[in-house]
Structure 1
Amino acid sequence: MKKIAVLTSGGDAPGMNAAIRAVVRKGIYQGLEIYGVSNGFQGLMDGKIEKMELGSVGDIIQRGGTILFSARSEEFKTDQGQELAIKQLKKLGIEGLIVLGGDGSFTGALKLTEKGFPCVGIPCTIDNDIPGTDFTVGFDTALNTIVEAADKIRDTATSHERTYVIEVMGRDAGDLALWSGLANGAESVIIPERDEPFENVIERLKRGRARGKKHSIIILAEGVGSGIELGKRIEETAGQETRVTVLGHIQRGGQPTGSDRVLASRLGAKAIDLLLNGEEGMMVGIEANQLTQHKIADILSKPHNLDMSLYKLMGELSI
């Protein structure tokens, strides 16, 4: 291969820019021409493809979001859209594509690979919901954003002796809620993977107040339900003044942590190696701090498994 392109797709994640930087610089180091695709798969179909140089990725490793921008595309899901995307790449002599994103983005990469165009995926999503890797790019930064916010909320919760519900991202995966709950010493964590009886939440709150506890923090993953509705139920049932904070998209932004920058750099460089070795339809990941690779088709067929030992520990420490 002499020419490789890179794009970001789906929701943005802190560390995407660090991964783009690694792809560009490792590629140039290996004597390749690297092209950046703007606006994801939609931009690919529209021919928004430009050659990138070393300076194209200067001073971006510390920036959140993605300099290549991102967009969702219904047209790309069609055979015609995918054929058009391949045509645009071949028009410039590009022979491989690196896709940064989550499972939806990987589905697109797999479709192109099945049509004969080599692709490699880099897992970038704050949800940490991709099998085959211990961590995804962006998760650590989002986690630290939640932890910082929850620490500040705890200060005011203590001052006013209130219960606070903090709703965090995680439509189908509870990693952010569970890890932040454990890191913040929350009384309860409510996640999609575990059907937590409402009565248990109330019992913990009452037990805490009975021993003199003045405030409580409950972390709720958005996929389970509304934080506002949960707050109303708690106030009505437990008789405790309750406030709700929905963190929303603040969790996706901000400077990536050192951990995310290093992970993104390692995965970006590994993706170049895979394409140069003739391996396609693969996803790079990290397991036990070692770089790994898996077939995207296998990854998409597996469920995301949350580390339930952390959930058990959470319960043991929140007595």
Structure 2
Amino acid sequence: MKKIGVLTSGGDSPGMNAAVRAVVRKAIFHNLEVYGVYGGYAGLISGNIKKLELGSVGDIIHRGGTVLYSARCEEFKTAEGQKKGIESLKKHGIEGLVVIGGDGSYRGAKALTEHGFPCVGVPGTIDNDIPGTQFTIGFDTALNTVIDAIDKIRDTATSHERTFIIEVMGRDAGDIALWAGLAGGAETILIPEENYTIDDIVGPLIKGHERGKKHSIIIVAEGVGSGVEIGKQIKEATNFDTRISVLGHMQRGGSPTAADRVLASRLGARAVELLIEGKGGRAVGIEENKLVDYDIIEALAQPHVIDKGMLKLSKELSI
């Protein structure tokens, strides 16, 4: 293999740039040419592809977002669009592709793999919802952003004796809510992997109020529903002074943490090694702090599993 490409796709996540940097520099170290695909799969179809040098990825390891940009692309979901993408790659002599992104990005890589083009997936999403890896690039940074917000909101919740509902991102996964809720000392954590009723929320709130508790923090994963609507239900059931904060896209931004920079560097470099070894159709991940790789098609067939033990612990600690 002489030439490889790299693209970022789907929602951006802190650490994507560190992964791009690792791919480029690892490839050049092994005397490969590297080409960046700008604008995700849309850029692949349009042929927005440029050669990258060492200097192309200088001073980006600390930056959030992605210097290769990202975009949604409905056309790439079609066989015709996928074939156009492969034609663009072959036009530049690219023989393998590193795809950095989440679930949708992996599905694109899977499609290219099924068309016979070697791809390696690198898990880049704040949602931490990719099977086959304990952690995804950007999750730790997003988590710390949420925890910082919880700490600030708790200060004002205490001052005004209020109940705060904080809605966090995560798509259909509850990892951000669960980890941030446990780390931030939330009284209640609502995740899509666990069923709940309004009584499950209101009961502990009233019990805490009766023993003199002046404020509460409730974390709601967006996959559960609207934090605003849940806040209204709580207000109606308790008449407590209630406020809602929807953190939104601030969770995707910011300089990546050291953990995300290291993870991105390790995973990006390993993806290049797999292509050099002639192993396309794979995805890289981390398990027990060790790098792993697995069949990308098989991985997408596996369900995302959350640690229910952490949810049980949060309930025990929030009494």
TM-score scaled by structure 2?
0.99
**What is aligned with 2:245?**
245
- Residues in 1 aligned to 2:298 and 2:316: alpha-carbon distance in whole angstroms: 35
Q: CA deviation at 1:198?
A: 1.5
**What is aligned with 1:154?**
154
Deviates more, 1:282-291 or 1:307-316: 307-316
- Residues in 2 aligned to 1:82 and 1:171: alpha-carbon distance in whole angstroms: 26
Cα deviation code 1:203-262 (max 9, x no counterpart): 111111111111000000111111111111111111201000000000000000000000
The amino acid of 1:141's aligned partner reads: T
Cα deviation code 1:35-66 (max 9, x no counterpart): 00000011011010000000000000000000
The amino acid of 1:300's aligned partner reads: L
The amino acid of 2:75's aligned partner reads: E
**What is aligned with 1:277?**
277
SS of 2:245's partner is strand
User: Does the 8 A contact of 1:126 with 1:137 survive in 2?
Assistant: yes
**What is aligned with 2:23?**
23
The amino acid of 1:87's aligned partner reads: E
Q: CA deviation at 1:157?
A: 0.3
Q: CA deviation at 1:197?
A: 2.2
Aligned residues: 319
1:211-250 equivalences in 2 (<5 Å) = 211-250=211-250
Deviates more, 1:108-117 or 1:64-73: 108-117
Q: CA deviation at 1:171?
A: 2.3
1:124-163 equivalences in 2 (<5 Å) = 124-163=124-163
The amino acid of 1:291's aligned partner reads: L
SS of 1:5's partner is strand
- Residues in 2 aligned to 1:76 and 1:206: alpha-carbon distance in whole angstroms: 51
- Residues in 2 aligned to 1:79 and 1:216: alpha-carbon distance in whole angstroms: 51
Matching of residue 6 in structure 1 with residue 39 in structure 2: no
**What is aligned with 2:67?**
67
1:122-201 equivalences in 2 (<5 Å) = 122-201=122-201
The amino acid of 2:85's aligned partner reads: A
Deviates more, 1:155-164 or 1:79-88: 79-88
The amino acid of 1:112's aligned partner reads: L
The amino acid of 1:228's aligned partner reads: V
Cα deviation code 1:75-124 (max 9, x no counterpart): 11111111111111111111000000011111111111111110000000
The amino acid of 2:269's aligned partner reads: A
Give every structure 1 segment of 4 or more consecutive aligned residues whose post-TM-superposition deviation is greater than 6 Å.
none
- Residues in 2 aligned to 1:218 and 1:195: alpha-carbon distance in whole angstroms: 15
- Residues in 2 aligned to 1:53 and 1:274: alpha-carbon distance in whole angstroms: 21
- Residues in 1 aligned to 2:267 and 2:11: alpha-carbon distance in whole angstroms: 18
1:111-126 equivalences in 2 (<5 Å) = 111-126=111-126
- Residues in 2 aligned to 1:268 and 1:126: alpha-carbon distance in whole angstroms: 17
The amino acid of 1:58's aligned partner reads: G
SS of 1:128's partner is coil
- Residues in 1 aligned to 2:257 and 2:63: alpha-carbon distance in whole angstroms: 10
- Residues in 2 aligned to 1:179 and 1:91: alpha-carbon distance in whole angstroms: 45
- Residues in 1 aligned to 2:249 and 2:310: alpha-carbon distance in whole angstroms: 25
User: Does the 8 A contact of 2:141 with 2:260 survive in 1?
Assistant: yes
- Residues in 2 aligned to 1:70 and 1:239: alpha-carbon distance in whole angstroms: 44
Q: CA deviation at 1:182?
A: 0.1
The amino acid of 1:209's aligned partner reads: H
